[in-house]
């Protein structure tokens, strides 16, 4: 009897196939679901449909650290958009594992990819980041250079200021501007001399002067140099020296500025006046010495200098300026009139009230009338409420709106009837809303019925209806007994 064979050649083939299938299935099952999702999203970064690629980008940012290994691999992808977006995402995730790969990407042939790598490395920020970025200040692409300049300003790393100074003579003016901004952020005194040399530049000088707001630049030696530059024959240099010294609160500086109020150049005078006004806001010691010469400057031959002087006097806020400012309310120049109105409002002396009210009757310019409303309220004029009630019928809607708003802020109960009457005829939605909110702020029960009617009127502007509902809700919460009595 022949023995039966249980393991034939055909069985072996089937067994091998079975092992292969089991191994294949095991490999598939072994892949992490998150890993599979990440790989799929990375692939979509190159999709020509920007909606899809943007969605993939945002999804990978949301995934965060688990996506980092796949994104690092994607930095070497064939498609430039995939490399660029991968670098961008890595910068948003800020995982230090990506630094080495991103540093290699700084030499990518595509400037957009290099730029994305610059931003990413700036975001991740390690001790080596500044050193990695400095060579790209010589990049052939100006957009990349701009990104590097900005990044070095944010990082403030060792050697960044010196590296930026080496390309200060760059052909691109935008690059030069951004170098100054970054030097200001870094605040390394090594840049002081180069910044001072730019004071004669009509475009870059003002930006360079603003850099001295970083007090790291304002050492005693630099202060002395700046004071000497006030004597320069070049008015651009003098004006920029004033801008730079404006960051130094010092009575000596104020004294020097007062002398410059007689400078032959109007731009210098204007800059000096502006800085004295800033000292006034800061209540700097010695600024009161500037009052008499500033009042004298109200008669300057240059209109812009006059306006600057008016503004500065308002900022200093001394009552001594009120009487000299009042005549300017009648000036033909509208900018000068408005500056005087605002200055009187800032000073806040009630003796200006009568003059403002008198001018209000004749003022043709609506913006000036609106400015007078604010000024009268600021100075606490005893007749302000009565004046504001009259202005609810002003011919310009912006004035009516401001009058209603200020009545609300003052919580003027005597204005309730006038506001309710105004709502009967007012057509402008912005004014109606202001009147509704004024009634809410005043909180008088007489307003309930009108507000309820407006809140239910389907022909009313939606914004006004909404304002009435909000106002009613607030008023009813404050006075439940009054609101239920009117239902």
The pLDDT tens digits for 86-118 are 999 999 999 999 999 999 999 999 999 999 999
Predicted confidence at residue 17, as pLDDT, reads 47
Measured between alpha carbons, how far is 310 from 445 in angstroms, rounded to an integer? 44
**Model confidence band, residue 482 (pLDDT cutoffs 50, 70, 90):** low
Predicted confidence at residue 1, as pLDDT, reads 46
Predicted confidence at residue 360, as pLDDT, reads 94
Closest listed residue to residue 420, CA positions, set 436, 407, 442, 440: 436
Give me the mean pLDDT over the 18-45 stretch.
68
**Model confidence band, residue 26 (pLDDT cutoffs 50, 70, 90):** very low
Measured between alpha carbons, how far is 117 from 87 in angstroms, rounded to an integer? 5
Instruction: Select 16-126's CATH number: 1.20.1740.10, 2.30.38.10, 3.20.10.10, 1.25.10.10.
Output: 1.25.10.10
Predicted confidence at residue 197, as pLDDT, reads 96
Higher pLDDT, 299 or 2: 299
The CA distances from residue 38 to 46, 66, 485, in Å, are 14, 8, 64
Measured between alpha carbons, how far is 263 from 257 in angstroms, rounded to an integer? 10
The CA distances from residue 143 to 50, 118, 171, 179, in Å, are 22, 11, 13, 13
DSSP-derived letter for residue 2 is P
For residue 486, pLDDT beyond 50: no
Shared fold status for 16-126 and 383-487: yes
Measured between alpha carbons, how far is 288 from 195 in angstroms, rounded to an integer? 32
The CA distances from residue 30 to 27, 34, 63, in Å, are 5, 12, 20
The pLDDT tens digits for 123-138 are 999 999 999 999 999 9
Class at the top of the CATH hierarchy for domain 383-487? mainly alpha
Residue 348 corresponds to which tokens in the numbers above? 């806040």
**Model confidence band, residue 250 (pLDDT cutoffs 50, 70, 90):** confident
Predicted confidence at residue 217, as pLDDT, reads 86
The pLDDT tens digits for 68-85 are 999 999 999 999 999 999
Contact 397, 367 (CB under 8 A): no
Predicted confidence at residue 11, as pLDDT, reads 52
Radius of gyration of the chain (CA): 35
**Domain spans of the chain, in order of start:** 16-126, 383-487
Measured between alpha carbons, how far is 469 from 176 in angstroms, rounded to an integer? 55
Predicted confidence at residue 313, as pLDDT, reads 97
Q: What's the gap between Cα 329 and its chain centre?
A: 33
In the block, tokens 């002067």 appear at 209
DSSP-derived letter for residue 6 is S
Beta-carbon contacts of residue 379 (< 8 Å; ≥ 6 apart) = 344, 345, 347, 348, 349, 350, 352, 353, 356
**Model confidence band, residue 34 (pLDDT cutoffs 50, 70, 90):** confident
Closest listed residue to residue 86, CA positions, set 149, 41, 143: 41
Which sign, positive or negative, has the C-alpha torsion 473, 477, 483, 487? positive
Residue 361 corresponds to which tokens in the numbers above? 């009757």
């Amino acid at each position: 009897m022949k023995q039966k064979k249980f393991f034939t050649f055909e069985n072996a083939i089937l067994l091998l196939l079975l092992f292969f299938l089991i191994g294949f299935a095991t490999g598939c099952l072994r892949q992490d679901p998150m890993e599979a999702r990440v790989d799929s999203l990375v692939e979509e970064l190159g999709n020509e449909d920007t909606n899809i690629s943007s969605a993939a980008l945002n999804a990978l940012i949301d995934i965060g650290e688990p996506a980092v290994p796949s994104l690092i691999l994607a930095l070497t992808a064939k498609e430039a958009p995939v490399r660029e977006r991968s670098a961008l995402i890595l910068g948003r995730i800020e995982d230090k594992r990506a630094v080495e790969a991103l540093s290699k990407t700084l030499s990518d042939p595509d400037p957009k990819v290099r730029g994305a790598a610059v931003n990413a490395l700036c975001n991740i920020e390690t001790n080596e980041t500044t050193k990695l970025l400095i060579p790209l200040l010589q990049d052939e692409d100006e957009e990349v250079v701009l990104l590097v300049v900005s990044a070095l300003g944010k990082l403030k790393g060792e050697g960044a200021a010196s590296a930026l100074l080496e390309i200060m003579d760059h052909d691109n003016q935008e690059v030069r501007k951004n170098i100054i901004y970054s030097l200001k952020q870094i605040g390394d005194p090594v840049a002081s001399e180069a910044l001072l040399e730019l004071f004669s530049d009509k475009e870059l000088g003002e930006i360079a002067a603003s850099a001295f707001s970083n007090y790291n630049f304002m050492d005693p030696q630099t202060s002395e140099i700046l004071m000497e530059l006030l004597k320069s024959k070049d008015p651009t240099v003098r004006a920029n020296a004033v801008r730079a010294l404006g960051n130094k609160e010092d009575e000596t500086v104020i004294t020097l500025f007062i002398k410059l109020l007689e400078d032959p150049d109007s731009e210098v005078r204007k800059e000096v006046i502006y800085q004295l006004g800033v000292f006034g806001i800061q209540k700097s010691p010695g600024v009161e010495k500037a009052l008499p010469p500033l009042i004298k400057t109200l008669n300057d031959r240059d209109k812009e200098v006059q306006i600057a002087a008016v503004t500065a006097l308002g900022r200093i806020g001394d009552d001594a300026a009120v009487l000299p400012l009042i005549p300017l309310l009648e000036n033909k120049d509208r900018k000068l009139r408005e500056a005087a109105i605002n200055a009187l409002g800032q000073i806040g002396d009630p003796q200006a009230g009568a003059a403002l009210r008198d001018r209000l009757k004749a003022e043709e310019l609506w913006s000036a009338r609106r400015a007078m409303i604010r000024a009268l309220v600021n100075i606490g004029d005893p007749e302000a409420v009565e004046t504001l009630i009259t202005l609810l019928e002003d011919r310009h809607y912006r004035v009516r709106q401001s009058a209603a708003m200020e009545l609300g802020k003052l919580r003027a109960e005597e204005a309730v009837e006038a506001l309710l009457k105004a709502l009967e005829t007012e057509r402008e939605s912005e004014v109606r809303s202001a009147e509704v909110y004024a009634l809410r702020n005043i909180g008088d029960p007489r307003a309930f019925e009108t507000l309820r009617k407006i809140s239910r009127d389907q022909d009313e502007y939606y914004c006004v209806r909404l304002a009435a509902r909000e106002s009613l809700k607030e008023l009813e919460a404050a006075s439940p007994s009054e609101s239920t009595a009117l239902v």
